[in-house]
Amino acid sequence: MFYTQSNQKTDVLATGLNGLVGSKLTASLDQYNFANIDRADPQFPVDITNIDQVKAAFAKSSSKVVIHLAAFTDVTKAWEQKGDKSAIAWQVNVLGTQNIITAAKETGKHLIHISTAYVFDGDNSEMYTEDDQPRPIEWYGQTKYEAEQLIKQSDINWTILRIDQPFRSDPFVKLDTAHRIIEGIKSGKLYPQFTDHFFGPTFIDDFVTVIDFFIRTQTQGLFHASSGEMWSDFDFALLLNQALNLGGEIKSGSLDEYLKSLNRPYQKNTALNCEKLKQILDFKLTPIGEAVKKISF
Ligand SMILES: NC(=O)c1ccc[n+]([C@@H]2O[C@H](COP(=O)([O-])OP(=O)(O)OC[C@H]3O[C@@H](n4cnc5c(N)ncnc54)[C@H](OP(=O)(O)O)[C@@H]3O)[C@@H](O)[C@H]2O)c1
Q: Which atom of ligand 1 is nearest to the CA of 48?
A: 32
- Is the shortest distance between the CB of 208 and ligand 1 below 6 Å? no
Across 121-151, b (16+ Cβ under 10 Å) vs e yields: bbebeebbebebebebbbbbbbbbbbbbebb
Can you say how many angstroms the Cα of residue 276 is from the centroid of all Cα atoms in its chain? 18
Q: Where are the alpha helices (DSSP H) in 2-94?
A: 22-28, 51-60, 75-79, 88-90
Whether 73 is in the pocket of ligand 1, judged by its Cβ within 6 Å, is yes
Question: Whose alpha carbon is nearest atom 39 of ligand 1?
Answer: 18
- Cα of 153 vs centre of ligand 1, distance in Å, is 23
pTM of structure: 0.97
Instruction: Give, for all 297 residues of the chain, the pLDDT tens digit.
Output: 444 455 589 999 999 999 999 999 999 999 999 999 999 999 999 999 999 999 999 999 999 999 999 999 999 999 999 999 999 999 999 999 999 999 999 999 999 999 999 999 999 999 999 999 999 999 999 999 999 999 999 999 999 999 999 999 999 999 999 999 999 999 999 999 999 999 999 999 999 999 999 999 999 999 999 999 999 999 999 999 999 999 999 999 999 888 888 888 999 999 999 999 999 999 999 999 999 999 999
